[in-house]
């Protein structure tokens, strides 16, 4: 392997998302969104899973998204830091409820459009290409309470209107788009993933897969609209990635791993290949799921994406005997604990070779360019007596994963770019913590909302600048 395998024009950068960075949750005409209802603390998980209904904020809870890292007011400083590292791409998302505060409004909110035009212009000032996710774990709350979110077909119209507004309003500023962040997370974290709340006794699989169908239709239509508005637009799907390894070579374990992979890849199979995969009929039958489809849906789904993007934090592991008690979640998806790899402080596996395996599998399956849009190590950082943050553990994680990505490129996999997750520290999606940090830039804020929000460069900041300047040759 040689790190010089990265092609000219390879996009290097980092990623944030509106819901975990912007804050200003009711400023500029923004409406309440799903993430604004998800508290820090013991109630977080049941709300995220759609098991505990939240339609109003409570006085006795802390909501980390409300201020987050205040990117809304500090984006100029943050983008300048990205430019100093040499970013050529910055991934972020648009908060749907900044443009359509209720989701079903007749016209978009001009203040929301103005804010994102300013952000994207700021990127362009430094030659940074924005990579924009339309929906990253936030659905306007009015759409949840009034329509039941994605269980309702009307969401397709609301979403495509919003998507068209984005493509038209930001035409010439943005050309790389993602429709739904980690679309498969709808299955694993239904409220944070798709605004779904369950009623007692209903078939949750039915609700989830019908909602998935609506998202897949909306994604395909948005892809078509993006191309109509400007053929230069390139649209990607986005998978919470990481292959499942079989626990053993026992055929039953191998089959279990294949089934688990299909559960996640189902979404990308539709978005990248343009039709429901052949295995889905049997899976739906077993789960008692019947998808309501309209005439013309099969045609709509043929609007496939231009590229396949994905997050990769860890590989996963499955066996025929896997159950609630012997598995645990890493990036929300349940896995057995693989004894052959190390784990982060939060128990997520560390497996760079798993990235190479995942990338090869995905390119074999889809034959479309890949974009690794999230990767990184969530870790606690300490400020030493000299005021420095020596995050060698983060450098080491990223170095090994960049090497694995270079190996995949050498294997023949076309890769458009790499954006590390949480390039500036932000709120963790799973736990709502600030102490689970991913950034090259430290943000002074704790898990309870205390701190000045001041930014401070970590050791990894200078390291990543060298990586980018050398187009991935200098990883030392
Ligand atoms: C992905 C999401 O699931 O993983 C991000 O797209 C999230 O929104 C990231 O933040 C890391 O997870 P966590 O829980 O450590 O923030």
179-209 residue pLDDT tens: 999 999 999 999 999 999 999 999 999 999 9
Q: Is the Cβ atom of 19 under 6 angstroms away from ligand 1?
A: no
pLDDT at 51: 94
pLDDT band at 225 (very low <50, low <70, confident <90, very high): very high
pLDDT digits (tens, 9 = 90+) for 110-154: 999 999 999 999 999 999 999 999 999 999 999 999 999 999 999
Ligand 1, residue 137: give the atom nearest the CA.
8
Q: In angstroms, what is the span from residue 14 Cα to ligand 1's centroid?
A: 13
User: 331 CA to middle of ligand 1, Å?
Assistant: 7
Backbone region of residue 23 per phi and psi (left: phi > 0; alpha: psi in -120 to 50; beta: other values): left
pLDDT category of residue 3 using cuts at 50, 70 and 90? very low
Terminal CA-to-CA distance of the chain, rounded, Å? 15
Can you list the alpha helix ranges (DSSP code H) found in 329-471?
352-366, 392-410, 459-469
Per-residue pLDDT band at 328 (split at 50, 70, 90): confident
Q: Which token pair is 9? A: 């024009």
Q: Is the CB of 182 under 6 A from ligand 1?
A: yes
96-127: b or e for each residue (b if 16 or more CB lie within 10 Å)?
bbbbbbbbbbeebbeebbebbeebbebbeeee
Helix (H) or strand (E) holding 262: helix 251-273
pLDDT tier at 331, thresholds 50, 70, 90? low
CA distances, 255 to each of 235, 261, 314 (Å): 33, 10, 20
Q: Which helix (H) or strand (E) is 121 found in, with range?
A: helix 110-125
CATH of domain 11-470: 3.20.20.80
Evaluate: CB of 174 within 6 angstroms of ligand 1. no
What is the share, in percent, of the chain residues with pLDDT greater than 70? 99
Contact 198, 207 (CB under 8 A): yes
Contacts of 359 (CB under 8 A, 6+ apart): 370, 372, 404, 405, 408, 411, 413, 415
Ligand 1 atom index nearest CA of 240: 3
Could you list the active site residues?
A: 374
Mean pLDDT of 432-451: 98
Q: How far are the Cα atoms of 180, 306, 323 from residue 274, in angstroms, in the given order? A: 16, 12, 33
Q: Is 179 in the pocket of ligand 1 (CB under 6 A)?
A: no
- Residue position matching structure tokens 């980390």: 64
Identify the pLDDT of residue 455: 98
Q: Which atom of ligand 1 is found nearest the CA of 19? A: 8
Q: Which residues pair with 307 in a beta bridge?
A: 236
For residue 248, the CA-to-ligand 1 centroid distance in Å is: 29
pLDDT at 334: 86
- The residues, ordered by sequence, that sit 6+ positions from 51 with a Cβ below 8 Å of its Cβ are 198
Q: Whose CA is nearest to atom 9 of ligand 1?
A: 429
Regarding the beta carbon of 311 and ligand 1, being less than 6 Å apart is answered yes
What is the Å distance from ligand 1's center to 430 Cα? 6
Residue 31: is its pLDDT beyond 80?
yes
Residue 4 has pLDDT above 70, yes or no: no
Task: Give nearest CA residue, ligand 1 atom 5.
Answer: 429
Mutate to test the pocket of ligand 1, among 331, 423, 427, 436 (most ligand atoms within 8 A of CB): 331
**Tens of pLDDT, residues 403-427:** 999 999 999 999 999 999 999 999 9
Q: Ligand 1 mean position to 93 CA, how many Å?
A: 13
What is the pLDDT, as a whole number, of residue 1?
43
The whole-angstrom distance between residue 293's C-alpha and the CA centroid of its chain comes to: 27
Nearest CA to ligand 1 atom 14: 430
- CA neighbor of 157 nearest in space, from 137, 173, 172, 143: 143
**Residues 253-292: tens digit of each pLDDT:** 999 999 999 999 999 999 999 999 999 999 999 999 999 9
Contact 260, 283 (CB under 8 A): no
Mean confidence (pLDDT) of the chain: 96
Rounded Cα gap, residues 282 and 454, in angstroms? 53
Tens of pLDDT along 342-358? 999 999 999 999 999 99
* 378 CB within 6 A, ligand 1: yes
Give me the residue label for tokens 């399956």. 365
| CA 309 to ligand 1 centroid distance, Å | 15
180 forms beta bridges with: 135
For residue 226, pLDDT over 80 is answered with: yes
**pTM, to two decimals:** 0.97
d(CA 462, CA 137): 31
Q: Is the CB of 374 under 6 A from ligand 1?
A: yes
Residue 73 and residue 28 in contact, taking contact as beta carbons nearer than 8 Å: no
**What is the Å distance from ligand 1's center to 346 Cα?**
12
- Residue entry with tokens 């790389």: 176
- Minimum mean pLDDT range among 123-132, 176-185, 213-222, 323-332: 323-332
| HSE-CB for 72 with a 13 A CA cutoff | 24
| C-beta 407 within 6 A of ligand 1 | no
Ligand 1, atom 15, lies closest to the CA of 428
Atom 2 of ligand 1, nearest CA residue: 429
Residues 390/452, Cβ–Cβ less than 8 Å: no
Ligand 1 neighbourhood includes 68 CB (under 6 angstroms): no
Residues 6+ apart with CB under 8 A from 465: 84, 85, 86
Residue with the nearest Cα to atom 12 of ligand 1? 429
Q: Dihedral, CA atoms, 60, 64, 66, 72, nearest 10 degrees?
A: 160
From 187, 121, 115, 195, select the one nearest 159 (Cα to Cα). 195
Quickly state the pLDDT bin for 324 (edges 50, 70, 90): confident
Q: What is the mean pLDDT of residues 54-66?
A: 95
Q: Nearest-CA neighbor of 425 among 417, 436, 415? A: 436
Instruction: Indicate which atom in ligand 1 lies nearest the CA of residue 181.
Output: 6
Q: How many CB atoms lie under 10 A from the CB of residue 61?
A: 16
SS3 10: coil
In short, whether 427's Cβ falls inside 6 Å of ligand 1 is no
Quickly state the pLDDT bin for 79 (edges 50, 70, 90): very high
CA distances from 453 to 21, 27, 36 (A): 11, 18, 19
Q: How confident is the model at residue 454 (pLDDT cuts 50, 70, 90)?
A: very high
pLDDT of residue 65: 97
- 331 ligand 1 Cβ < 6 A: yes
- Backbone φ and ψ for 360, nearest 5 degrees, come out as -65, -45
When pLDDT is averaged across residues 217-237 and rounded to a whole number, the result is 98
DSSP H/E element including 177: strand 176-180
């Amino acid at each position: 392997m040689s790190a010089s395998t990265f092609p000219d024009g390879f996009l290097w950068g980092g990623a944030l998302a509106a819901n975990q960075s912007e804050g200003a949750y009711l400023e500029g005409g923004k409406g309440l969104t799903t993430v604004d209802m998800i508290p820090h603390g013991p109630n977080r998980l049941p709300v995220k899973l759609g098991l505990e209904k939240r339609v109003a904020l409570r006085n006795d809870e802390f909501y980390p998204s409300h201020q987050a890292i205040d990117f809304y007011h500090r984006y100029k400083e943050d983008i300048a830091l990205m430019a100093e590292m040499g970013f050529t791409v910055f991934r972020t998302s648009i908060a749907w409820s900044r443009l359509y505060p209720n989701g079903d409004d007749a016209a978009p909110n001009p203040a929301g459009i103005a804010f994102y035009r300013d952000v994207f212009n700021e990127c362009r000032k430094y030659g940074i290409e924005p990579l924009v996710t339309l929906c990253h774990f936030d659905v306007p709350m009015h759409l949840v309470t009034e329509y039941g979110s994605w269980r309702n077909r009307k969401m397709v119209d609301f979403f495509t209107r919003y998507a068209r507004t984005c493509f038209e309003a930001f035409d010439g500023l943005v050309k790389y788009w993602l429709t739904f962040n980690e679309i498969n997370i709808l299955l694993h974290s239904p409220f944070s993933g798709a605004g779904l709340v369950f009623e007692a006794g209903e078939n949750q699989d039915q609700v989830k897969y019908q909602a998935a169908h609506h998202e897949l239709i909306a994604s395909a239509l948005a892809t078509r609209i993006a191309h109509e508005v400007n053929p230069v637009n390139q649209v990607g799907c986005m998978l919470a990635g990481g292959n499942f390894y079989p626990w053993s070579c026992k055929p039953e374990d191998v089959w279990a791993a294949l089934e688990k992979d299909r559960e996640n890849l189902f979404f990308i199979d539709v978005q990248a290949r343009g039709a429901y995969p052949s295995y889905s009929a049997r899976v739906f039958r077993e789960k008692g799921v019947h998808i309501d489809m309209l005439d013309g849906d099969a045609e709509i789904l043929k609007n496939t994406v231009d590229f396949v993007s994905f997050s990769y934090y860890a590989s996963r592991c499955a066996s025929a005997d896997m159950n609630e008690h012997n598995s645990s979640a890493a990036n929300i998806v349940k896995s057995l604990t693989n004894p052959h790899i190390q784990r982060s402080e939060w128990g997520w596996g560390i497996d760079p070779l798993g990235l190479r395996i995942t990338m090869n599998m995905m390119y074999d399956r889809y034959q479309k360019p890949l974009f690794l849009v999230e990767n990184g190590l969530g870790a606690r950082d300490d400020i030493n007596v000299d005021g420095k943050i020596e995050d060698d553990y983060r450098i080491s994680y990223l170095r090994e994963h960049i090497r694995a990505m270079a190996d995949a490129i050498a294997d023949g996999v076309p890769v458009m770019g790499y954006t590390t997750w949480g390039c500036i520290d932000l709120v963790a999606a799973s736990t709502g913590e600030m102490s689970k940090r991913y950034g090259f830039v430290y943000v002074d804020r704790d898990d309870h909302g205390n701190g000045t929000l001041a930014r401070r460069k970590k050791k990894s900041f200078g390291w990543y600048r060298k990586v980018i300047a050398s187009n991935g040759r200098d990883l030392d």
